[in-house]
Amino acid sequence: MKYKMSFGESLGQTLIYIALAVLSVTTLYPFINAAALAFNQGYDSLRGGIYLWPRTPTLENFRVMFSNENIGNAAYVSVFRTVVGAALHVLFSAACAFALSYRKLPGRGLITGFLFIPMIFGGGIIPFYILLRDLHLTNSIWVYILPYLFSFYNILILRTYFEGLPEEVKEAAIIDGCGYGRMLVRIIMPLSLPVLATIALYSAVAHWNDWFAGYFYVNNEALQPLQTMLVRFLKENEVTSIFAKLGVSASSTVQTKSYTSESLKMAVLVIVSFPILCVYPFLQKYFIKGALIGAVKS
Amino acid sequence: MHIDKAHGIPVYHPKAGKWKEIKRYGALYVLMLPILIAVIVFAYIPMYGVVLAFKDYSFARGILGSPWAQPFDRYFATFFHHPYFWPIIRNTVCISLLKIFTGFVASVALALMLNEVTRQKFKKFAQTALYLPHFMSWVIVAGFVGRFLSLDYGLLNQLKVALFGGETVHWLGEPAYFWPIVVLTNIWKEVGWGSILYLAAIAGIDQEQYESAYMDGAGRWRQMWHITVPGMAPMMGIVLALSMGTIMSAGFDQIYLLQSNQTYDVSMIIDTYIMEVGLRGGQFGYATAVGLFQSVIGLIFVLGFNRLARQKFGISIW
């Protein structure tokens, strides 16, 4: 709709553009700044003045981080849980949602209700932790995967989608003698790739970003993911703390060569945010779609 | 269906049919098995652990074997009489409300602003930039915030000294600044993502309304006020109603990562308190009791708010 705007409206529009531009800069700047600092020599950064690019470029910070075996372990844990966790989450959720998409299934309502109740009522963190301990999950990498296989929200989204698939396809499969399992894998899932991708993405991001489980449920340092390492790293600068520290990470107190604990922190920050930054622009539309499906359909 | 011998009439027996149906769908039940097992183990079994709120937990005896606390509501009494009880409640509720309302206003405003942008490329760019912080964990954001507010090389202090002179301020160490910091960083992180729902709502508004308004001589501002905002009203209502249910949890990640010893009076919320006494302090029974208190109050809020929303505005979550 093109029409001539009054002066006030033109001014308003200009202000809006400026405001949005400024806001966009504030969300992008911290990442660029962190990258600049991570690629800059630590002691040089102390002099200040590093904003958008490094003054004395170096890979030292990253080299130190990667040679630290704790970081190596943490990276492995993070990648493992993200890939395996998201894959299993999607697989089992899709299987369950597919079953639930059959309206004639006996007990369907009951089971749906059964899955819904934990959303409003739960035992709390402490009994959950005790359970994890009793199951000996607290020293296993599966502690990051098994408790997070289930999301009522995701199952609902998948179920709605499966219900919307044309009946003819499913019936044709049955007529051809296809069992439900095979139907799911060979026919339904290939037809549902967008939804599956969206759910997988959400699950993957959640796994990658989770620092809590590793920090509070797992004592074994070798089993903690990258985000947990970063938290311990950040908290390290707390001078006194009522919350007892989980253990001292030796590498951050060493201050020789050109790196400082600050520059190392920046390097870890970059390492941890890098995968999402890479993946995000390409998959943005999937994330948005997921949010909208959830909101509109429910 | 079988023939009733006494009367010679066909009788419909639903039970015989049901078993057949269940067998026919057998494979489907198998497909649901992994999730069902996971739910039973990780969601329903811990539910039983709620009894810990009334027991004197002994590690050796486990949950079942531990004796009941004397008196059984001992933990609740302790909590209610704890000197930190009111500060904790106050902090939790205030921080929650502040975050909910500022976030709400900011997201709505952002949606309105984005709606006014006609250059698609700029709009896409702005949206990409603004959605980004939502996908970063609070760990990363806290890292940025810590640096931004840092005493020695933080940007904020540099700006402050350059513009206003004076000393550098230890922002994260001052109780007075804690709530503003929490609110502002929350907006920074979530305003973009939060605007998605409102943009969707705006997209659903009938375009003809704008045209007829323009015919009647209304400019963009009036159109926004009289068409766009009312068009978003249902979405705003639902989002607010849903948010109210979360009043009792003010956002553990953010608070835990941004707090410091100096700010405990204003930064301790129920969740961080449970963490401290429970997982750190090992007082399982007491921490479970506090958690139970939190859940019950939260549930009351959700139910209460839903009823209110239904009566006053005709919208409901279920």
- B60 interfaces chain A, CB cutoff of 8 Å: no
As a 3-state breakdown, chain B gives helix, strand, coil percent values, each rounded to 5, of 75, 5, 20
Q: Among A58-62, A145-149, B13-17, B61-65, which stretch is predicted with the lowest mean pLDDT?
A: B13-17
Q: Provide, as residue numbers in chain A, all residues whose Cβ is less than 8 Å from the Cβ of B303.
A: none
Please judge whether B139 and A46 are an interchain contact, meaning their C-beta atoms are less than 8 angstroms apart. Answer: no
pLDDT in tens, A221-242: 889 999 998 888 777 653 222 2
- ipTM summary value: 0.81
Report the chain B residue with the minimal C-alpha distance to residue A120. Answer: B299
Contact by Cβ (8 Å): B94, B102: no
* Closest of B116, B260, B89, B270 to residue B174, by C-alpha: B260
Q: Provide, as residue numbers in chain A, all residues whose Cβ is less than 8 Å from the Cβ of B143.
A: 34, 230, 234, 265, 269
Q: Provide, as residue numbers in chain A, all residues whose Cβ is less than 8 Å from the Cβ of B202.
A: none
Contact by Cβ (8 Å): B84, A242: no
Average pLDDT over residues B64-73: 78
- B219 interfaces chain A, CB cutoff of 8 Å: yes
Q: How close A188 comes to chain B (CA, Å)?
A: 14
Is B264 strand, coil or helix?
helix
Please judge whether B257 and A231 are an interchain contact, meaning their C-beta atoms are less than 8 angstroms apart. Answer: yes
Helices (H) and strands (E) in chain A, counts: 14, 0
Average pLDDT over residues A75-88: 94
Contact by Cβ (8 Å): B213, B224: no
% of chain A at pLDDT higher than 70:
89
- The reply to whether the predicted model has a pTM over 0.95 is no
Please judge whether B139 and A231 are an interchain contact, meaning their C-beta atoms are less than 8 angstroms apart. Answer: yes
Whether the link from the prior residue into B71 is cis, omega within 30° of 0, is yes
Please judge whether B200 and A295 are an interchain contact, meaning their C-beta atoms are less than 8 angstroms apart. Answer: yes
Flag whether pLDDT at A243 surpasses 50: no
* Predicted local confidence at residue B40, as pLDDT: 93
* Closest of A271, A209, A221 to residue A245, by C-alpha: A221
Please judge whether A23 and B63 are an interchain contact, meaning their C-beta atoms are less than 8 angstroms apart. Answer: no
